[in-house]
A and B are shown apart, each in its own frame.
Chain A
Amino acid sequence: MTIRIAVLAKQVPDPEIPPSQFNIDESAKSIIPPNGVPPVVNGFDLNAVEGALQLRDSGAEVEISIISVGAEFVMDVMKKTLAMGADRLILVDDHNLDKIDAAATVKILSAAINKDGPFDLIIGGRQASDWDQAHVIIGLAEALKLPLVSLVQKLQINEYGISLHRVVPDGYQVINSKMPAVLTITNELGEPRYPNLRGIMQASKKIPDVLSLADLGLSAEDLVPKLELSKLYVPESNRQVEIVNGDDDADSGKKLALRMREEKLI
């Protein structure tokens, strides 16, 4: 029996942009990606794809559908998930869907899941690196009324359904859940695999399903935000560093200890 998995993946600005190149348009309340730096699939979402692929590697028969909500998708970027080994790519692409809040995102994702479902597993990243909300998937579990296990670093099909290792502050918990279930995946699961040539070739031939809000029976009125973004700005840092300079590195180390002592830091 095929296990149907939906992996929710978001296109985000590259989070590794160096701080010196991070710019904001304060009047538009949005960031200005540096020229020529393409967006990426949110890192934790690639961990989620990796998690789904590991279930396949372990011998389970799985079908992996990627679902993404946004605007101005870069096809080569989103197709990375297919090149890694996912089977289908569903893009909900409509005006301004890159600017909606978590509540609206949950509505659209649950509509897309209901349209294409049922799924046995619904998997997302622990958080998206643009707004760092870390709650879209939790909200989705509430909307779908399914069990939720967050911060998963290991997953395995077992006789109860699925066995999960969930990261906690000082270790991990082993959790058994029935399926269907909703999971968030954390980077502790391990590096997402690199697509191989065959994967890239296959992905290039696949055509994503592109849906509009209307295709999901939704309209802009359904997406009234619960929060209003009033300002977006780069924080000012007024810290002044004192570089401790010795004759050589070893001397600098010694002088550092002395300076820290003078300042009663140690």
Chain B
Amino acid sequence: MTSVLLIGECDQNGEITQATLQAITAAMGLDDPRITAVFPGRPPELAKRLPIDSIVIASEVTDSDDGIFEQATADISSLLLAKKPDVILLSKSDLGSIVGARLAFRADIAFVPDCLEISNSKGQLTVIRPVYGGSALAEFIVPSYPAVVTLRPGSYYPADEDGAPSIDSIEFQNVEPSALVVDTVAEVREGIRLEEAKVVVSGGRGLGGPEPFSVLENIADELGGAVGASRAACDAGWIDHSHQVGLTGKSVSPDVYIAVGISGASQHMAGCSSSRAIVAINTDPDSNIFREARFGVVGDWENVLPSFLDAVRELKA
């Protein structure tokens, strides 16, 4: 039997994140799993239909989003003591990355972030994670339980919401925050969120400046998608960093990922390689992006994109 404590998360609309549903699938693949989920803050109604054994509800709802996740860390640390799980599973989100690491170091147990695979069928917990920006894969054995693991979004299919977990109530202690969030400045974005888009059109250094991103926007609009970017384009200030796709940006897994003027460095691919199909437009036939793409055009975006957009519009008409 493997007891799993799963840390669930909701998006801004209060819906359970795809990454959380994917983590449930990962947990279900462990040896004879018993899955308990906790949602820092308040669990959404839908959580009561997840295919897991139980849900922990905090009787005293605390605000977990303090920017440094001290409350969430304290809450989950106390659950760790109460439930003694073998595996604590989180997604590689802002919360997951910080709370996961904090928990593990506080409890002096193993932490493995950003995993693609987790299994313990052979009696030993084994995980696979990309290293060196994704140029290599590393398999680790975790010699003893408990262990804290975060999963890269897109590594598993999301679980269906068709269960009836039992509901446990627990009281958490409020912690005094050591640093205070005094303001949140959100970049206002219209349209489809990058992480959920079925089509992503991304631009890189090869675009040469900020203006061409409006061409990418037109294509994204036409295809019902969102605009992404490489780190080089963001660092150059051509587009806001919240559009960055990659190892240190967002993980996306759309049906189609169109990469324009992006060389396909491993750290970029780390955020998009689970896309169903990658389409590359690049002047350099030897660039790495063509090794990962399903379709490619070797050419200058300035000439390729306008006719591509026209053809897309015609096909839609």
A binding-site residues for B, Cβ under 8 Å: 13, 15-19, 22, 24, 31, 102-103, 106, 126-127, 129-135, 138-139, 141-143, 146-150, 164, 166-178, 181, 186-188, 191, 226-235, 237, 239, 241-244, 246, 248-254, 256-261, 263, 265-266
Contact = CB atoms under 8 A, between A and B. Distances in A.
A148 B266 CA distance: 29
17 contacts: A168-B67, A171-B184, A174-B181, A176-B180, A177-B178, A226-B109, A226-B142, A228-B143, A231-B139, A234-B137, A239-B292, A239-B294, A241-B295, A241-B296, A253-B297, A253-B307, A256-B311
Interface of B: 67-68, 94, 97-98, 100-102, 104-106, 108-114, 126, 130-143, 178-187, 189, 199, 223, 231, 235, 241-242, 247-248, 250, 255-256, 265-267, 276-281, 285, 288, 290-300, 303-312, 315
A22 B136 contact: yes
B109 A232 contact: no
Contact of B256 (A142, A235, A265): A265
A24 B68 contact: no
A150 B98 contact: yes
A167 to B, nearest CB: 7
A246 B179 CA distance: 58
Contacts, number: 255
Contact of B311 (A106, A170, A258): A258
Given A103-B110, A226-B143, A254-B307, 5 more contacts: A178-B178, A230-B140, A242-B294, A252-B297, A253-B308
B94 A169 contact: yes
Contacts of B295: 241-244, 256, 259-260, 263
A251 B308 CA distance: 8
Contact of B296 (A24, A231, A244, A250): A244
Contacts of B250: 169
B135 A22 contact: yes
A174 B184 CA distance: 6
B297 A256 contact: yes
- Give the interface centre of A106, A149, A172, A266 by most chain B CB atoms within 10 Å: A266
A61 to B, nearest CB: 23
Contact of A168 (B94, B255, B294): B94
Given A18-B288, A175-B180, A226-B110, A134 B97 contact: yes
A154 B255 CA distance: 36
A229 to B, nearest CB: 6
A132 B106 CA distance: 21
A166 B279 contact: no
- Give the interface centre of B136, B178, B189, B235 by most chain A CB atoms within 10 Å: B136
Contacts of B131: 130-132, 232
Contacts of A266: 199, 223, 256, 312, 315
A106 B67 CA distance: 23
Contacts of A263: 277, 295
- Give the interface centre of B104, B247, B292 by most chain A CB atoms within 10 Å: B104
A25 B280 CA distance: 31
Nearest to A132: B131
A260 B201 CA distance: 14
B1 to A, nearest CB: 23
Contacts of B298: 243, 252
